[in-house]
A and B are shown apart, each in its own frame.
Chain A
Amino acid sequence: MTPYGFTDLLPGSTHEPDECPRCDTALHVNKGLCLLCLLQAGLTDAEDSRSESLDTLLSEIE
């Protein structure tokens, strides 16, 4: 069995990430994104009424 995927849980494989300037936590995912800030983003209750979607925008970029 490959250990790939398990090692990120072991203390020896972790490093010392910087604290987030916004929330002062030091838990990061995806190459430095703050875990708490990303989670809190889900709480932002902004109703979206504009019709232009991300999908449409991406399609317009060459």
Chain B
Amino acid sequence: MSRRRSFRVELGGLFPEARSLGFESGFTLQISDLPPEINETPLPSAETPGEAAQSALTAGPLAHEQTTIHAVVDALQSRGSAPDDGVANQIPRRTLMIINKSPLLSSANANEGTVRRGTFVTTRWSLILSGTGSKTKEQEASAALAELCSIYWRPIFAFICRRGHSTQDAEDLTQDFFLMILEGSWLQNADPSRGRFRSLLLKSLKNFLNDAADKIHARKRGGAVSFISWDDWMAEAPSELSMSTQRLNSLPPERLFDVRWAATVVERAVRRLREECELKGQRRVFDILSGYLTKERDDVSCASLATKLEVPERTVKKLLYRMRQRYRWFLRDEVAQTLENPADIDDELRHLCGVLAASAEQAT
């Protein structure tokens, strides 16, 4: 396996001895609240019941929830930690919460397909908000915050530019703002009651820019240093957001911030869909079909697409349906990461849609 992934699965009270399960490629299973000697037991090989685990771990995060569930149960049964006989089939899919797919970021996912509505799922933002009380929690929260900042630097930069700063000054101020966020006391003051990541970041940015002139002068005197690796952030694919000059010029800073935010969310979701196709060696499928993600059924000529892809028409229909479903999941996941409660995904999406619609009206 070339890519290292880890999952942690929380069980809805089905296994009283284990509150949650974690496993990662290389077939290491870690069960919370169980003694180390059990956790050190390697998973079965791919030829044994753990074969399902390999499938789940290599096929992509959350792509095979049902397989994952069975793999977990197989693993538990293999070590005598789970009830026998058909337990997997008795587990309702919705009792599972997959709360950690990244070994590096301790981030989380709110998968509407597998998570019961209203069930709390850890998101990056909720992880940040709960990141006090222990060194480990603080480290996880800091990593999650750094990740969110690296994702959402464009709205920050755009806002600063729209406030009238030169590109160079905006770059410096963006650096300084993130320095304050990542190394200052912002995290400790990020009170859950103060709102979502997006709104709290914008509010903090406005406060930060109140004495921007002093900050710029201090920088020019050598009073600040760049610490953020822009190259790392630039390594991400550049944004392809396009809008008319008239529209761009008409947007107030706050609205431009939200437009850039919406573009970031959408572009990341589209990118994840593309990467999933690429992982299967099907970039061409993405290239040809991604333009139809939002098209009405009547606007799609499946026959023509089938010819292009050299697949049956019914396969094109299935692919389009699945790509839309997958894209939707990625989009909601991206939004969820900036919220404390994934139940607010629709509210956040509606807010961003409203901003885009209003921005369009404003420019006409």
Contact = CB atoms under 8 A, between A and B. Distances in A.
Contact of B294 (A1, A3, A8, A22): A22
A31 B287 CA distance: 10
Interface of A: 1-6, 8-12, 14-17, 22-48, 51-55, 57-61
B59 interface: yes
Interface residues on B, range: 35 or more
| Interface SS of A by simple majority | loop
A32 B295 CA distance: 12
| Interface SS of B by simple majority | helix
B167 interface: yes
Interface string B319-359: 10011111110011001000000000110011011001101
B277 A58 contact: yes
A36 B356 contact: yes
A35 to B, nearest CB: 6
A57 B157 CA distance: 40
Contacts of A6: 157, 167, 171
A38 B242 contact: no
A4 B263 CA distance: 17
A25 B236 CA distance: 26
B324 A9 contact: no
B309 to A, nearest CB: 8
A21 B287 CA distance: 21
B245 interface: yes
Interface stretch (B26-34, B139-147, B181-189, B227-235): B227-235
30 contacts: A2-B230, A8-B239, A10-B167, A15-B244, A16-B245, A17-B242, A25-B360, A26-B360, A27-B259, A27-B356, A30-B240, A35-B259, A35-B262, A36-B353, A36-B356, A39-B262, A39-B266, A40-B294, A40-B353, A41-B294, A42-B331, A42-B335, A44-B328, A46-B325, A48-B325, A54-B319, A54-B326, A58-B277, A61-B285, A61-B315
B157 A54 contact: no
Contacts of A39: 262, 265-266, 331, 349, 352-353, 356
B262 A33 contact: no
B158 interface: yes
A33 B290 contact: yes
A57 B243 contact: no
Contact of A2 (B234, B240, B276, B315): B234
Interface stretch (B38-46, B60-68, B75-83, B213-221): B60-68
